[in-house]
Structure 1
Amino acid sequence: MTATKNFSEEDFIGVGGFDSVYKGILSNGEEIAVKRLSKNSRQGGEEFRNEATLIAKLQYKNLVAFLGCCSQGEERLLIYEYMPNKSLNYFIFDPKKRELLTWPKQFEIVMGIARGLVYLHQDSKLQIIHRHLKASNILLDKYLNPKISDFGLARIFRDDVEDAKTESWEHCKFYQLLTYVC
């Protein structure tokens, strides 16, 4: 509450399917992003537990850093590192910001996303299928380095499963993301 000035409008960053995101500043000056899950969503509780459980176990330079969570009564919060350049979405669909995405920078972003996916799929102790990869779930740090976020729909699959499948192709939007970036 203190870090976000009671979830003030001036600290509002954006909204997702089950949540709102606010910028916060801790007492030590560290900037954070606070994901506040909707109190009215029936689906939000499962996604909250899933995201907190998965992202807490995963640490990689191309994944958004998870700092903590809070669940008290109906209030559910996820705390992440703050990404000053928001999401790739803002750069793709804003003509002025799109100019900053030179071909070499686009290539760096795509390679960073690919490295994050390789980590999730084969290099981490848990093998994860993200299932909701899209431009708005690729956050950009101050140097425009990509970090995969939003693990609410992600699923763990076992090492002995050769062909992991998800229930819906719509959750897998990496192809569309590459199309926009390239």
Structure 2
Amino acid sequence: MRAGLPVARPGMTVGLLGGSFDPAHEGHVHITEEALRRFGLDRIWWLVSPGNPLKAHGPAPLAERIAGARRIMQHPRVEITGIEAQLGTRMTADTIAALQRLYPGVRFVWLMGADNLVQFDRWDRWQEIAARVPIGVVARPGWRMPARFSRAARLMWRARLPGLRARQLARSGTPAWVMINLPLNKLSSSAIRARRPKGN
């Protein structure tokens, strides 16, 4: 195991929540705590990304975003990481493949907001991601219906599990995905950035 990477034992279920977290906020905390409970996960790792190829403008420095995430997300079963920078991976498919090699026997679940499901078919090797790990989709304001009828959802409709089986997701064969509806929290990183004073 590489130094500095989180610890996980074979048989554990670990949710992976990737994003720029620019900045991390209470909405991320809300999603994380609900995903731990609703998907029955042992751990969740935040994967604070070096950059997002689908975003036009680069995020704040990685160390700054990790520090901010650690201030706001304090939970004994949640780890804030810069795994992609440590592994030298940029694409989600490569990151997941590397983690599966490093952690044999650990059951990973990819976590995403419903807004990401809408554009999931634009991700690099998205079908490989779905073949490697189950996917837990968390409903966010205004995205429930677009997510349900997105191209990726239509192509994966046979693999969808009902919400009542969400706790079985981590131990399901792939492809498999569940969309859960949460009490909605409207906070978003983009809205917070928009409220920042110019130059901050």
Output the TM-score relative to the length of structure 2. Answer: 0.27
Output the TM-score relative to the length of structure 1. Answer: 0.29
Greater strand percent: which structure?
1
Q: Which of the pair has the greater relative contact order for Cα pairs under 8 Å at 6+ separation?
A: 2
